[in-house]
Amino acid sequence: MIGIIDYGMGNIHSVQKALESTGVKVLVINKPEDIQECDKLILPGVGAYKDAMQELSNQGLVKAITDFIRQDKVFLGICLGMQLLFDSSDEAIGVKGLGIIKGKVKRFFLPEGFKVPHMGWNQLNRGVRGKGSAVDDCPLLKGIEDGAYVYFCHSYYCAPKDNRVIAATAEYSKDFCAVAWQDNCFGMQFHPEKSQDVGLKILRNFVEL
Amino acid sequence: MLTKRIIPCLDIKEARVVKGIKFLGLRDAGDPVEVARSYERQKADELVFLDITASYQQRQTLISLVEKIAQNIFMPFTVGGGIRSIDDIRDLLNAGADKVSINTTAVKYPELIQEASAKFGSQCIVIAIDAEMANSPQSTDHGKKRWKVYINGGRTPTELDAVEWAKKAFNLGAGEVLLTSMDCDGTKEGYDLELTKAISDAVNIPVIASGGAGKLEHFYDGFTKAKADACLAASLFHYQELTVGQVKQYLANKGVLVRL
Write the pLDDT tens digit of every residue in A33-81: 999 999 999 999 878 899 899 999 999 999 999 999 999 999 999 999 9
The alpha carbon of residue B26 is apart from the nearest alpha carbon of chain A, in Å, by: 31
The alpha carbon of residue B229 is apart from the nearest alpha carbon of chain A, in Å, by: 9
What pLDDT does residue A132 have? 44
**Residue A119 burial class via C-beta count within 10 angstroms: exposed 0-12, middle 13-18, buried 19 and up:** buried
Residues of A in contact with B119 (CB under 8 A): 47-48, 51
**Contact check, Cβ <8 Å, B119/A196:** no
Q: At a CB cut-off of 8 Å and minimum separation 6, what does B257 contact?
A: B1, B2, B3, B4
Higher pLDDT, A188 or A129: A188
> Residue A30 — φ and ψ, nearest 5°?
-125, 5
* Exposure b/e, B64-75, CB count within 10 A at least 16 = b: ebbebbbeebbb
Please compute, for residue A126, the number of CA atoms within 13 A of its CA located in the half-sphere on the CB side: 15
**Contact check, Cβ <8 Å, A13/B40:** no
Residues of B in contact with A116 (CB under 8 A): 204-205
Q: Which residue in B97, B4, B7 sits closest to B44, CA to CA? A: B7
Structural element, H or E, at residue A198: helix A196-208
Q: Which CATH superfamily is domain B5-253 in?
A: Aldolase class I (3.20.20.70)
Active site residues of B: 11, 130
* Segments making up each domain of chain B, as ranges: 5-253
Give, as one character, the DSSP assignment of residue B3.
P
What pLDDT does residue A8 have? 79
Asked if A193 is an active-site residue, the reply is yes
Give, as one character, the DSSP assignment of residue B122.
G
Fold of A2-208: Rossmann fold (3.40.50)
Work out the end-to-end distance of chain A between its first and last CA atoms, rounded to an integer number of angstroms: 12
Structural element, H or E, at residue A116: none
Q: Does A123 touch chain B (CB under 8 A)?
A: yes
- Residue of chain A whose Cα is closest to the Cα of B205: A115
**Contact check, Cβ <8 Å, A10/B122:** no
Q: Which residue in B235, B219, B186 sits closest to B4, CA to CA? A: B219
Instruction: List the pLDDT tens digit at each of the 260 positions of chain B.
Output: 899 999 999 988 877 787 766 666 666 767 889 999 999 999 999 999 988 776 555 455 578 889 999 999 999 999 998 899 999 998 888 888 999 999 999 999 999 999 999 888 888 999 999 999 997 655 556 667 899 999 998 999 999 999 999 999 999 999 999 999 999 998 999 999 999 999 999 999 999 999 999 999 999 999 999 999 999 999 899 888 999 999 999 999 999 999 99
In total, chain A counts a number of residues equal to 209
Q: What is the ipTM of this complex?
A: 0.90
Residues of A in contact with B45 (CB under 8 A): 120-121
Residues of A in contact with B40 (CB under 8 A): 196
What pLDDT does residue A127 have? 62
**Contact check, Cβ <8 Å, B206/A151:** no
